[in-house]
Chains A and B, each alone.
Chain A
């Protein structure tokens, strides 16, 4: 009898310590603290970023600033979450479409002596440029790198699926285009020609 009582007590003891019981509201709260990258990306594009777009640097001015004083231009105008040479600029411009390919739309932006030729990406919209260009994304708010990466990925996905398709449907050679976008550049080897811009907003 004593033997069975001891076994029962042992089973109860092990069973009790094998299970952790938490109130449902605590579990729900913990689950809700997981980042929803899709929701964050949409809020970023619709609420966080728009005020900054109005202050984006005209692309001609940025090119002039880079030619005049590269280091000053990078220090004052570029942003990046990562440490290193890869930096991002928030830019805007207006030009005329000169060429349309499967992956990009080439536009000519009037500049001092000759037009500035830019490539607006319409296919390969990847990377961190749109997330980082305005300097509004603070990595100190995140402890998990996968959240930081997922946000960039979802931002790009929204641009690819919602901004690009209507633009590609309507754009023609000769169309006038207004855009805001993000420009990635390597600080060690900046290039001021053949620039590729990832669009954030486009108007025909």
Chain B
């Protein structure tokens, strides 16, 4: 009986050595900026699903848009033996130190959708091509306005790189047409309610506008609400960016003119595949890889659903 006890003890010790903490079990951590927004939930879940498909254990960490919490998640991931981190940052500058810490520990980080402002911290950054997507929206905007008219722009968070990439892409087209005039530009923080308030205020000062370019779909919906409330929904065309479900429905209904469709699933899956390739020995990755954004209008709306293609 005593020998049998020792045998079970030995088996127990040996089985412990195969648990994830030994660093040999294949594990990927997914650290995401927030799970309060369905777009990021979709991103995180698709990253986890692809990593699992590739044979990895996964865990999703929610940073709740807080860099301090994000720092804790990185610490936990490194201590717990995760071999790669698929990362959606909370702050382009503030998150760099976390990525560098992982890099120093020999753990590669693959950024998804949101970039960090460093070119030697993450192994690769897979990002929506916001600039080019907004060029496409800008071209359609100019065509829809027949190269003339007044418009306003609702910017996203002023500290977010995507805000300016989208604005610059749009202006790289619209600014070439002297008869199209931007009469106001203001941030609404990517927020629907704030966009409605800003739009209401803008309409007081500029009642004759023909178009609104919004840095995301939530603001586009807020702007549309304000326009509808003011009885100007048929006079002003609204353009968004993201590919959110309510905007897809609004394009079908003729309420929103167009959006730039992003593909979170593509970014998430590519990050997991890259991490797998890295762990198998590949080292030659482009630092920043753009993911194409597609123009969605009433003409091609049937080809799309929220967050991507049907």
* Chain A-chain B contacts (Cβ-Cβ < 8 Å), number: 75
Contact A145 B138 (CB under 8 A): no
**With A126-B135, A145-B131 given, is the CB distance from A81 to B290 under 8 Å?**
yes
Q: Do A144 and B119 touch across chains, with their CB atoms under 8 A apart?
A: yes
CB of B270 closer than 8 Å to a CB of A? yes
B287 interfacial contact with A, CB 8 Å: yes
| Residues of B with C-beta under 8 A to A85 | 292, 294, 309
**Which of A81, A83, A86, A126 contacts B126, CB < 8 Å?**
A83
Check A127 for interface membership: any CB of B closer than 8 A: yes
Q: Which residues of A contact B266 (CB under 8 A)?
A: 83-84
The answer to whether B294 and A84 have CB atoms under 8 Å apart is yes
Once the chains bind, are A82 and B300 in contact (CB under 8 Å)?
Answer: no
**Residue pair B119, A84 in contact (C-beta under 8 Å):** no
Within the complex, the shortest CB–CB distance from A157 to chain B, in Å, comes to 9
Residue with the highest number of chain B CB atoms closer than 10 Å, among A82, A85, A140: A82
| A124 engages B139 (CB within 8 Å) | yes
Q: Are A82 and B132 in contact (CB under 8 A)?
A: yes
Once bound together, how far apart are the Cα atoms of A40 and B165, in whole Å? 21
Q: Bound complex: CA of A145 vs CA of B116, how far in Å?
A: 12
Segment among A13-21, A24-32, A147-155 that sits at the interface with chain B? A147-155
30 contacts between A and B (CB under 8 A): A82-B129, A82-B290, A83-B126, A83-B266, A83-B291, A83-B292, A84-B263, A84-B266, A84-B292, A84-B294, A85-B294, A86-B292, A126-B136, A126-B138, A127-B135, A127-B139, A139-B286, A139-B289, A139-B290, A143-B287, A143-B288, A144-B119, A145-B165, A145-B288, A146-B131, A148-B290, A149-B132, A149-B165, A153-B172, A186-B294
The answer, yes or no, to whether A189 is at the interface (CB within 8 Å) is yes
For the complex, what is the distance from the CA of A152 to the CA of B129, rounded to whole Å? 13
The answer to whether A84 and B291 have CB atoms under 8 Å apart is yes
Q: State the 9 A-B residue pairs at the shortest beta-carbon distance, nearest first.
A: A84-B292, A143-B119, A82-B292, A86-B292, A82-B290, A149-B131, A140-B286, A143-B287, A83-B291
Q: Tell me whether B169 is interfacial, beta carbon within 8 Å.
A: yes
Interfacial chain B residues near A189, Cβ < 8 Å = 300, 303
Does B69 sit within 8 A of A, measured CB to CB? no
Q: Does A76 contact B (CB under 8 A)?
A: no
Docked pose: A189 CA to B136 CA in angstroms: 17
What string of 1s and 0s marks CB contacts (under 8 Å) between A68-80 and chain B?
0000000000001
Contacts of B263 in A (CB 8 A): 84
Q: Could you tell me the distance between the alpha carbons of A80 and B284 in the complex, rounded to whole angstroms?
A: 18
Does more than half of chain A's interface fall in helix, strand or loop, or is it mixed? loop
Cβ contacts under 8 Å, A145 to chain B = 115, 127, 129, 131, 165, 288, 290
CB closest chain-B residue, reference A186? B294
Most interface-central of A83, A144, A153 (chain B CB within 10 A): A83
Partner of A152, one of B132, B165, B287, B300: B132
Q: Does A193 contact B (CB under 8 A)?
A: no
Contacting A at CB under 8 A, from B78-103, are none
Whether A80 contacts B172 by the Cβ 8 Å rule is: no
Q: Return B147 CB to nearest CB of chain A, in Å.
A: 9
CB proximity of B38 to chain A, nearest CB, Å:
21
B143 within 8 Å of A (CB atoms): yes
Chain B proximity of A148: nearest CB distance (Å)? 7
How far is it, in angstroms, between the C-alpha of A124 and the C-alpha of B291 when the chains are bound?
22
Look across to chain A and name the residue whose beta carbon is closest to the beta carbon of B303: A189
* A143 cross-chain contacts in B, Cβ below 8 A: 119, 287-288
- Cβ B309 vs Cβ A188 within 8 A: yes
Q: Contacts A82-B132, A83-B292, A143-B287 given: A126-B139 contact, CB under 8 Å? A: yes
